[in-house]
Amino acid sequence: MRRLYDTCHWRKIEKFLIPAIHRATHDADQLLLDLERLNNAAAVAMGEVAERFAGLSIDSADRVTEFCASVDAFCNALLQRLAREEQELFPVARTVISGEAWFSIANKMLAHEAYVQETRPVRPGPAPAAVPANGRLADQRAARITLTH
């Protein structure tokens, strides 16, 4: 649950798109507040699971029911948020963010992704490829990053 919550919270929408919408218009402030409330509801449900069931075995029908209710509350809050983003936030973004701002957002996203790729721990794997004859390893790396995202 924690990994799912963190992944949803640190998505590019949160980091780049929502701030751009907020800068472009205040007409979406209520929607942004509602999305934040749904995010908080998921956090509360996750906290309840951690608090109420940490170290306990879920060995009775009542505990199973309580556990499932907390997990359902978590999932429902995240699903509602994702649905509202798709149905309401994206249409707002398309209308209030200028073309130039979209390019700026895209550049920030690409720069962030490149940073994440560069700082990601190296996992043991096959030996690195030999440096190409033309010495353009950086160009190949950039192309690989672009193609994978």
pLDDT single digits (tens) 91-141:
999 999 998 888 998 888 888 888 888 888 877 766 555 555 555 544 444
Q: What is the mean pLDDT of residues 55-61?
A: 79
Residue ranges of the domains in the chain?
Answer: 1-97, 99-117+136-149
Q: What pLDDT is stored for residue 131 in this prediction? A: 53
Q: What pLDDT is stored for residue 56 in this prediction? A: 73
pTM: 0.68
CA pair distance 15, 10, nearest whole angstrom: 7
CA pair distance 118, 138, nearest whole angstrom: 12
Instruction: Outline where the chain has alpha helix (H).
Output: 2-9, 12, 18-24, 29-53, 61-84, 90-96, 99-119, 137-148
Q: What pLDDT is stored for residue 134 in this prediction? A: 52
Residue 12: closest CA among 113, 81, 83, 145: 113
Could you give the C-alpha distances from 73 to 18, 87, 120, 141, in angstroms and in order?
24, 21, 33, 42
Q: What pLDDT is stored for residue 78 in this prediction? A: 93
Q: What is the mean pLDDT of residues 77-96?
A: 94
Task: Copy the structure tokens of residue 45.
Answer: 């449900």
Q: CA Rg, the chain, in Å? A: 21
